[in-house]
């Protein structure tokens, strides 16, 4: 544990508490070579749903993010001349600010809408018309909105790549990338289709993926990591916690999945616990039941790690922050690099980053 700066990226602070992850270990798995082909396929793409990714792409983006974390790429100004519009019609701490930090650190520029009420929405303007305006204002749009249908509406006229930063109870694909970036740094062997048996993880998810977009997107990617995720246990008070969106991918995945509602029964078996609190219920939020609170005294495996997309409430006690179970602060700290990797690929600026083909 500790607070230090990485070897390459000179000005980026690391998490102050909990595990500090080593990006270099992830790069060493492929001798520093990043899968450029997978990244090139993202050029000009909108990122709306985690089903757009496959395992190879998640690993490629994570390795590229690890490279950005270990090298001082800022001096190459890869987003010079690009403008990102961050349009947030719903509250955010991490997503908007880490996207903006990602762009600004790479010499791009940002047009920030921190609150939809400062746009014409307050006067009844449609998202479709706002999308038309964005075509001439920026090169990529990052949008969060409380309505699941918002992506289709803004894309009526928007011709720029759109990155979904959370659409109601829909998805949060870039959060899922950040989550897997953290997991792959923590245990790089999870990248391997033939992950050694003693490195495979039993993953526990506390919450209702069907109504928690970050959990849903994380689970969607987890289902791709066959041979690395040995089992998934979903701990929820709901009878059907996963919802329609994931029914088919779950049925098709060879990973065994169990559903239980007793968190105490599940905890001692889990290597990774992903917890979230806030569920979207149409026009309101619901917090997790008090029974599901994790704290220092919880019966965790000694080396188990806890992930959380944050913001947290009572479900994750602060007395865990100083422990090695805390992966959630390192998870959040990787966001700038993961989002930089995605933006460079989507904005077709890979050629501005030298030496993607090795040497770490």
Residue pair 45/52 in contact (Cβ under 8 Å)? The answer is: yes
29 touching ligand CP, by CB under 6 A: no
CA distance 85 to 267: 41
Q: Two tokens at 202?
A: 């039993």
Stretch that binds ligand CP, among 15-23, 43-51, 88-96, 342-350 (CB under 6 A): 88-96
Stretch that binds ligand CP, among 188-196, 285-293, 309-317, 339-347 (CB under 6 A): 309-317
Quick check: helix, strand or coil at residue 161? coil
Phi then psi for residue 111, to 5 deg, are -105, 115
309 touching ligand CP, by CB under 6 A: yes
Site for ligand CP in 173-212 (CB under 6 A): 175
For 18, left (φ over 0), alpha (ψ -120 to 50), or beta? left
Residue 87 or 353 with smaller CB distance to ligand CP: 87
49 touching ligand CP, by CB under 6 A: no
Helix (H) or strand (E) holding 231: strand 229-235
Stretch that binds ligand CP, among 202-210, 242-250, 279-287, 304-312 (CB under 6 A): 304-312
Among 92, 189, 199, 261, binds ligand CP (CB under 6 A): 92
Q: Two tokens at 253?
A: 């995945």
Nearest to 186 by CA among 272, 117, 286: 272
93 touching ligand CP, by CB under 6 A: yes
Shortest CB 78 distance to ligand CP, Å: 24
Residue 177 or 191 with smaller CB distance to ligand CP: 177
CA distance 16 to 333: 10
Shortest CB 150 distance to ligand CP, Å: 15
Among 14, 56, 77, 94, binds ligand CP (CB under 6 A): 94
DSSP 15: P
Q: Two tokens at 109?
A: 């520029």
Residue 43 or 310 with smaller CB distance to ligand CP: 310
Among 311, 318, 351, 355, binds ligand CP (CB under 6 A): 311
Among 15, 38, 70, 95, binds ligand CP (CB under 6 A): 95
Shortest CB 328 distance to ligand CP, Å: 10
CA distance 215 to 86: 22
Q: Two tokens at 297?
A: 């005294």
Q: Which residues contact 133 (CB under 8 A, 6 or more apart)?
A: none
CA distance 118 to 138: 18
Residue 214 or 316 with smaller CB distance to ligand CP: 214
Report the interface residues with ligand CP, using CB under 6 A.
92-95, 166, 172, 175, 214, 309-311
């Amino acid at each position: 544990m500790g607070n230090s700066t990485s070897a390459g990226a000179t000005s980026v602070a690391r998490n102050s508490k909990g595990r500090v992850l080593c990006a270099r270990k992830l790069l060493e798995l492929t001798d520093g070579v990043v899968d450029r082909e997978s990244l090139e396929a993202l050029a000009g793409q909108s990122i709306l749903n985690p089903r757009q990714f496959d395992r190879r792409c998640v690993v490629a983006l994570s390795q590229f993010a690890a490279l950005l974390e270990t090298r001082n790429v800022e001096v190459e100004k890869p987003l010079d001349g690009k403008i990102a519009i961050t349009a947030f019609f719903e509250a955010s701490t991490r997503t908007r600010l880490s996207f903006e930090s990602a762009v600004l650190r790479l010499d791009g520029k940002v047009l920030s809408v921190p609150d939809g009420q400062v746009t014409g929405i307050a006067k009844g303007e449609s998202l479709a018309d706002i999308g038309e305006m964005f075509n001439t204002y920026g090169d990529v749009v990052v949008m969060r909105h409380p309505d699941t249908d918002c992506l289709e509406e803004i894309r009526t006229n928007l011709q720029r790549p759109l990155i979904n930063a959370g659409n109601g109870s829909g998805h949060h694909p870039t959060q899922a990338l950040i989550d897997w970036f953290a997991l792959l740094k923590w245990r790089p062997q999870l990248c391997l289709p033939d992950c050694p048996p003693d490195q495979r993880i039993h993953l526990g998810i506390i919450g209702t993926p069907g109504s928690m977009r970050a959990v849903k997107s994380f689970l969607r990617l987890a289902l791709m990591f066959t041979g690395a995720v040995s089992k998934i246990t979903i701990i929820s008070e709901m009878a059907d916690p996963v919802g329609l969106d994931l029914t088919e991918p779950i049925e098709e995945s060879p990973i065994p999945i169990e559903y239980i509602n007793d968190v105490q029964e599940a905890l001692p078996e889990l290597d990774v616990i992903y917890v979230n609190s806030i569920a979207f219920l149409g026009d309101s939020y619901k917090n997790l039941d008090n029974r599901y609170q994790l704290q220092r005294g919880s019966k965790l495996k000694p080396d188990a790690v806890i992930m959380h997309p944050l913001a947290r409430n009572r479900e994750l006690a602060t007395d865990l922050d100083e422990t090695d179970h805390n992966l959630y602060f390192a998870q959040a700290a990787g966001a700038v690099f993961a989002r930089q990797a995605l933006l460079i690929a989507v904005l077709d600026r890979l050629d501005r980053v030298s030496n993607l083909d090795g040497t770490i």
